Amino acid sequence: MQNHRFSDALWVPSPHFDERPTDEICLIVIHAISLPPEILNPLPVMAFFQGTLNHQMDPYFEALKDVRVSAHLVIGRNGDVYQAVEFDKRAWHAGQSEFEGRARCNDFSIGIELIGPEEGPFTDAQYEALKVVCSDLCAAYAIDPNHIVGHRDIAPGRKIDPGADFDYGRIRPIS
């Protein structure tokens, strides 16, 4: 990890971020995404995060035309890691959210998207890459391993990713 970037990630910068209100980073939020649904390719996701998604390529993309979102990292099905926003910046991944009584999780979290259906399953390669990423992030930013949660945990009733069966035991560093 150097300059708030994961060393093994391909840098694909997104313009969809801003400054954090403080330097605090104490939460990792796991998401799942596929664009269009069930297409397990990271390229449309990265284009979406860059604001360059061709909305004529698929009818599903039309609804995303004015949406501005990003995540810090994206992990492909083969474990490839892409970084769209530096960790010290606020990526726009969580939306309306709350963790342990604190609203606006984007202010103090790192967002990681797994390429896949909202409720999984995810590949062994994704779990392995995510384990390395989470271990490095927890060490670099002193994040409690129990503060690695799913989007569904910070936005219940609104979000379901990464699914009820997501195996956090495979990715949380032992504290």
Catalytic residues, by residue number, are 113
Residue 73 and residue 112 in contact, taking contact as beta carbons nearer than 8 Å: yes
Tokens of 41: 């390719």
Distance CA 159, CA 157 (A): 6
Residues 6+ apart with CB under 8 A from 128: 79
Tokens 């709350």 belong to: 98
* Edge-to-edge strands, sheet with 81-83: 10-11, 81-83, 73-75, 109-115, 27-33, 148-150
